[in-house]
Chains A and B, each alone.
Chain A
Amino acid sequence: NAGVTQTPKFRVLKTGQSMTLLCAQDMNHEYMYWYRQDPGMGLRLIHYSVGEGTTAKGEVPDGYNVSRLKKQNFLLGLESAAPSQTSVYFCASSPGTLLAKNIQYFGAGTRLSVL
């Protein structure tokens, strides 16, 4: 079972460059999330989606955009990367059922450095 797959695993960007992180899940989950993990800050929610074609802002959405054109994919875009966006990015998904939807299944992460 693939579960949640994130690509790429590592990336180095220069300030001002753009990139897209791809998240794919094969569990037919309704909900998908993008987090960033920084030392001493724990997990912070960037954007999330409660279904195909929908997106919503999380705690730290500035500088990021997302799209969920297909149920299985959730894309995170950085239009103009900044050093403050150096982080490890995690995608997660969860079922849409009432009690299960907060059991989130995580990808292995994307380690991004912005120079």
Chain B
Amino acid sequence: AQSVAQPEDQVNVAEGNPLTVKCTYSVSGNPYLFWYVQYPNRGLQFLLKYITGDNLVKGSYGFEAEFNKSQTSFHLKKPSALVSDSALYFCAVRANAGNNRKLIWGLGTSLAVNP
């Protein structure tokens, strides 16, 4: 079965420190991978995606993510966290094979950046 896992419900980090939000996936074929962010009382916003090519993908607001095929992971990272990065982060994957091409969403990770 195809799935996405975000193993941490919550991540806490001090402002200025690096942050990592983890995502692992299980799909058939080569995956398309996405990160979205949701600020309080707002809809989700696209951050970045991996389709093919360079394993390190850069996105909005200084975020980046690294695709690791052997570990089936797509962790979101930022070198220096800001208090304004506090939000809910969702990983999503689309299988690039078979008939089911819809996005599969993780349950989300709440990031809290402390001043």
Binding site for B on A (CB under 8 A): 4, 40-45, 48, 58, 90, 92, 99, 102-109
What separation, in Å, do the CA atoms of A42 and B51 have in the docked complex? 23
Count of A-B contacts judged by CB separation below 8 Å = 45
17 intermolecular pairs with C-beta atoms under 8 Å apart: A4-B43, A42-B105, A42-B106, A42-B108, A43-B44, A44-B105, A45-B102, A45-B103, A90-B43, A90-B44, A102-B32, A102-B94, A104-B44, A104-B103, A109-B41, A109-B42, A109-B43
B57 CB-CB contact with A under 8 Å: no
Q: Knowing A42-B107, A43-B90, A99-B51, say if A106 contacts B102 (CB, 8 Å).
A: no
Do the beta carbons of A103 and B49 come within 8 Å of each other? yes
What separation, in Å, do the CA atoms of A24 and B109 have in the docked complex? 29
Query: Which residues from chain A contact B36 at a C-beta distance below 8 Å?
Result: 104
Q: Fill in one digit per residue for B23-49: 1 if any A CB lies within 8 Å of its CB, else 0.
A: 000000000101010000111111001
The list of the 7 closest CB pairs from A to B, nearest first, reads A106-B43, A42-B107, A43-B105, A106-B44, A103-B46, A108-B43, A42-B105
Query: Which residues from chain A contact B108 at a C-beta distance below 8 Å?
Result: 42
What separation, in Å, do the CA atoms of A18 and B65 have in the docked complex? 43
Query: Which residues from chain A contact B92 at a C-beta distance below 8 Å?
Result: 102
Do the beta carbons of B107 and A41 come within 8 Å of each other? yes
